[in-house]
A and B are shown apart, each in its own frame.
Chain A
Amino acid sequence: MASQWKFTTKDLAEKPEILISGHRACAGCGPATVYRQVLKAVRGPTIATNATGCMEVVSTIYPYTAWSIPWIHTAFENVAANAAGIETALKALKKKGRLKQENVDVIAFAGDGGTYDIGIQALSGAAERGHNFLYVLYDNEAYMNTGIQRSGSTPHGAWTTTSPAGRVIPGKPEYKKPIADIMVAHAIPYVATASPAHWRDLMIKARKGIEANGPAFLQVIAPCPRGWRYDISRTIEIARLAVNTCVFPLWEAVDGEYVLSAASKVIALKPDRKIPVRDYLKAQGRFRHLFTPEFEHIIDEIQQIIDRRWKRLLKRCNM
């Protein structure tokens, strides 16, 4: 049980790495840190499946692999169906007495492209059918593997190679899709958001998701220095700033009941701790074009939408 495992640094140090060194992720890669933290939270025998994307590419170039647990990748849009297939096979083999292990957990990993856009059908279907697995969305807010193209997750105003900072249209006109709320609306047992800056919170949530009796969804903000245009040393700092500006508040919904997590609860209780969105945007080159007289009003617009979403979340959390 999650409660019996303390997630102390001593515990973590004793736990072997599952995603081992030698993989080809960029320096400062947010997703690689997210994977490491999630995989520190596994409870026993586990099978992982991965959508096409950065982390599939950097962790498995044949004949090398960074995975020390069984792992499979098949395509981009179907990782939830893949997890469902593994889970169903395990169930069938167990029923027939042909599974050696008492229990095997299943984790699906996908980026935002594989989740918000091309993968949402398979995800929604698997959630509706109640397959027992943890889905981890590493959200770096664009198609980074193909060269930083906009996705349904890319925030308003952000530069990407398909939402360039043009003279007429300055970055992405649309807003980020509230994917975790969409998953809560599926009435699945566990949904949470997490940030690698709050690693213990992330690990406890990953473990809760693994232990949930049914589909669990974990959305993790995963800054990408290449796509977000910041120095590789600042990944965790930016992941923390996303929380402290309420751009990416931390919460969990257990059986549909929203609860704010500690890092965001502090801000709810002491609103003066809420940092202006401007500081978050300023730290990233992908928003640089907004800091011009012509487009500065967009920063206010972003602040407004963030405030509105934050208010709505507080209401859901009865705060």
Chain B
Amino acid sequence: MAKIKQEIRALSGDEAVAYAVKQADVDVVAAYPITPQTIIVERFSEYVHNGEVDTEFVCVESEHSALSMSLTASATGARVFTASGSAGLALMHEILYVTSGCRAPVVMAITNRALSAPINIHCDHSDSMVERDAGWIQIYVENSQEAYDSILQAFRIAEHQDTLLPVMVMLDAFVLSHTLESVNVLPDNAVQRFVGMRNIPLIQGHQGKPVPFKLDPDNPITMGPLDLYDYYFEHKRQQEEAMEMAPRVISEVHDEYARLSGRNYGDGLIEPYRLDDADLAAVCLGSTAGTTKTVVDHLRKRGVKAGLLRLRTYRPYPTQEIRAALQNVKAVAVMDRSHSFGAHGGPVFHEIRHALYDATIQPHIVNYIYGLGGRDMPPTLIQEIYTSLQRIAKTDQVEKPVQFIGVRE
């Protein structure tokens, strides 16, 4: 249990993020407004203009420059935060790869919003799902409390010398970004003790001696050089090694934070809910997990052995943990809030299938594409999914592996 007295504040998801950044001794924030991320930058602007933080806050002219600035500020040794979503994240696409390739531990909040066209400002996961291969750690949160907690953890994860990878923390547009919740916040000094100062690791410099990994006139290094077929591949391999180290770091940081705050989210990678003896399991990310948990409780009362697996960390992908969590169920419904056109299913579906390929007994797996462009996902529809899982478990047959739910066909 937590020993520290925490304060309960009424915060939206965006406000919870801004509050965490305020407490985390961030040196530079560079950001560009996009609905529904705007409250993050608005609140942070207030902290700056009221003298509550000594962060250098720069309102840039585009998301491309927001991340470009964040990257080089981080390379200069600063702790850096930015935030975006949807078209803004898409505009950052090029620099996402450069940031992870330069091993700049930038932390970014993403309010998950649909991509154009048609233009739509509401929630789905299309924006961040397409960036899952960009070399960033991805954490999807269920509620505003977790948004606050995860931003604080993200700085520790990103800046850890075994990872040195940028981290994006995803919160659902409007459902979380604009909805007030009671959020427990830690005292400033407890946050500062937890996040600490940014630690710059030593690397081998050009003359062979150890130098800090940053742009430092006393120890000059060249960053972002042309790197051809003779070394590029090794550098990409090193990024994968860092990703392989990341689950341990994420779990350690998560557990340390849990001891401090009294709050935990599974093991920091996945969060199984009533899954131990479940026959039927849904898999989802983000705020839908909250609704699904109430449906599971309801079904359990009726004697249905339903459970839920919420994926919290999506990159690195916790393959083993997912397999262990799901291999004893009879039927799995993967809920994708984005779609890969022409790919016969959403990205989460494909990767859950991949995780279960090596399971001794493979459960039936079906895919439901839901909630695109902010389409509501009420408990009744989630219940329908479990009903179809019951049918699959009973008949041992899958009629339609991929379906759209909550849409006019």
A residues touching B (Cβ–Cβ < 8 Å)? Answer: 45-47, 49, 56-57, 60-63, 65, 67-75, 77-78, 80-86, 88-93, 95-96, 98, 100-101, 104, 121-122, 124-126, 128-129
Q: Are B69 and A82 in contact (CB under 8 A)?
A: yes
Q: Is B242 an interface residue (CB 8 A)?
A: no
Check A73 against B65 for contact (C-beta < 8 Å).
no
What are 25 sample pairs from A and B whose C-beta atoms fall under 8 A apart?
A: A65-B225, A70-B220, A72-B75, A72-B215, A73-B223, A74-B72, A77-B64, A80-B65, A81-B64, A81-B72, A84-B30, A85-B74, A85-B75, A86-B72, A88-B28, A88-B56, A88-B69, A89-B74, A100-B218, A121-B62, A122-B61, A124-B61, A125-B65, A128-B61, A129-B58
Cβ contact within 8 Å between A122 and B226: no
| CB pair B226 A60 closer than 8 Å | yes
Contact residues in A for B321 (Cβ distance below 8 Å) = none
Closest to B102 in A: A74
For the complex, give the distance between the alpha carbons of A50 and B386 in Å.
Answer: 55
Task: Determine the chain A residues whose CB is within 8 A of the CB of B225 once the complex forms.
Answer: 56, 60-62, 65, 73
Question: Per-position contact with A for B183-211: 1 when CB-CB < 8 Å, else 0?
Answer: 00000000000000000000000100000
| CB 8 Å contact bits of B67-82 with A (1 = contact, 0 = none) | 0111111111110100
A45 to B220 Cα, complex, angstroms: 10
Question: Which residues of B5-48 are within 8 A (CB) of A?
Answer: 27-28, 30
Known: A73-B224, A125-B61. A81 touches B217 (CB 8 A): no
The listed residue (B77, B94, B218) touching A93 by CB distance below 8 A is B77
Sample of 12 more A-B contacts, CB < 8 Å, known A67-B220, A89-B77: A45-B217, A60-B226, A61-B228, A68-B220, A70-B217, A73-B224, A89-B56, A92-B78, A93-B78, A101-B217, A121-B62, A122-B64
Bound Cα distance from A185 to B244, whole angstroms: 51
Q: How far is the CA of A67 from the CA of B78 in the complex (A)?
A: 22
Q: Is the CB of B27 within 8 A of A84?
A: no
Q: How far is A109 from B76 in the complex, measured between Cα atoms in Å?
A: 17
| Contact A104-B217, Cβ < 8 Å, known A63-B231, A85-B68 | yes
Q: Using known A-B contacts A75-B95, A78-B65, determine if residue A85 contacts B71 with beta carbons closer than 8 Å.
A: yes
B217 near A84: Cβ-Cβ < 8 Å: no
Q: Do B56 and A91 touch (CB < 8 A)?
A: yes
Please give, as numbers and ranges, the residues of chain A lying within 8 Å of B224 by CB-CB distance. Answer: 72-74
Known: A89-B78, A91-B56. A62 touches B215 (CB 8 A): no
B52 at the interface (CB under 8 A from A): no
Residues of chain B from 69 to 105 with CB closer than 8 A to chain A in the complex = 69-78, 80, 94-95, 98, 102
Taking CB atoms, residues of chain B closer than 8 Å to A73 are: 223-225
Check B216 against A70 for contact (C-beta < 8 Å).
yes
Q: Is the CB of A56 within 8 A of B226?
A: yes
Closest 7 pairs between A and B when the two form their complex, measured CB to CB: A125-B61, A85-B72, A60-B225, A45-B217, A85-B69, A89-B76, A81-B68
Q: Does B54 contact A (CB under 8 A)?
A: yes
Query: What is the bound-complex CA distance between A142 and B231, given in angstroms?
Result: 30
The minimal Cβ–Cβ distance linking A92 to chain B, given in whole angstroms, is 4
**In whole angstroms, what is the CA distance A104 to B216 when docked?**
9
Q: Which B residues are in CB contact (< 8 Å) with A90? A: 76
